[in-house]
């Protein structure tokens, strides 16, 4: 099955927002309250913020915002056209040689089809000339995310308390580029 991975555009923001909401609920409904998830998605994936992030990625060589499109051969009919997943990376705030994987999400109906791996591989390829490594944080209880990152060659370098909710831990992962 073919999937196009491309630079995100302003036309993708609604689909990115919806993919984020569906992904967050699938990954975090057993960890956080549904209302809290909706609040986080509405704040972190606000349409105007997504538009700014996409514009920023279009104008800088150290920021990447990608989407994976569905296609006509997709086994999931609702993904015949448009965003099925996305990935976004920026410079790590404390290190100029480190990229920060802000987000990578695939619609849960499409999990297990290699879309996240293609997004990540394309993102890493685009960042390799600019950064030495890529880093991310994921909630420790997000077993889908933890498994994905570990199977993608990331090493856990830190465990810390999450800012999302008291008592939640998150893992910080890193991978050389």
Query: pLDDT tens digit string along 46-59?
Result: 999 999 999 999 99
pLDDT of residue 77: 46
Does 96 have pLDDT greater than 90? no
pLDDT of residue 92: 87
Helix 47-59 / helix 13-28 crossing angle, nearest 10 deg: 110
Q: What is the mean pLDDT of the chain?
A: 90
Q: 140-170: per-residue pLDDT in tens?
A: 999 999 999 999 999 999 999 998 878 899 9
Predicted TM-score (pTM) of this structure? 0.89
pLDDT of residue 81: 56
Q: Which CATH number fits the domain 4-135, given the four candidates 3.40.50.1970, 3.30.70.940, 3.40.630.30, 3.40.50.720?
A: 3.40.630.30
């Amino acid at each position: 099955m073919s999937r196009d991975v491309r630079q995100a555009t302003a036309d993708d923001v609604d689909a990115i927002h919806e993919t984020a909401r569906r992904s967050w609920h699938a990954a975090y409904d057993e960890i956080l309250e549904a209302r809290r998830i909706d609040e986080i998605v509405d704040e972190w994936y606000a349409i105007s913020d997504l538009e700014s992030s996409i514009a920023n990625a279009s104008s800088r060589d150290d920021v990447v915002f990608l989407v994976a499109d569905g296609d006509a051969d997709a086994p999931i009919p609702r993904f015949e056209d448009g965003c099925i997943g996305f990935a976004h990376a920026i410079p790590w705030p404390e290190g100029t040689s480190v990229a920060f994987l802000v987000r990578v999400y695939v619609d849960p109906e499409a999990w297990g089809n290699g879309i996240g791996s293609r997004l990540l591989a394309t993102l890493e390829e685009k960042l390799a000339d600019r950064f030495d490594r890529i880093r991310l944080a994921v909630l420790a209880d997000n077993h889908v995310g933890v498994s994905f990152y570990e199977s993608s060659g990331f090493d856990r370098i830190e465990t810390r308390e999450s800012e999302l909710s008291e008592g939640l831990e998150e893992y910080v992962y890193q991978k050389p580029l």
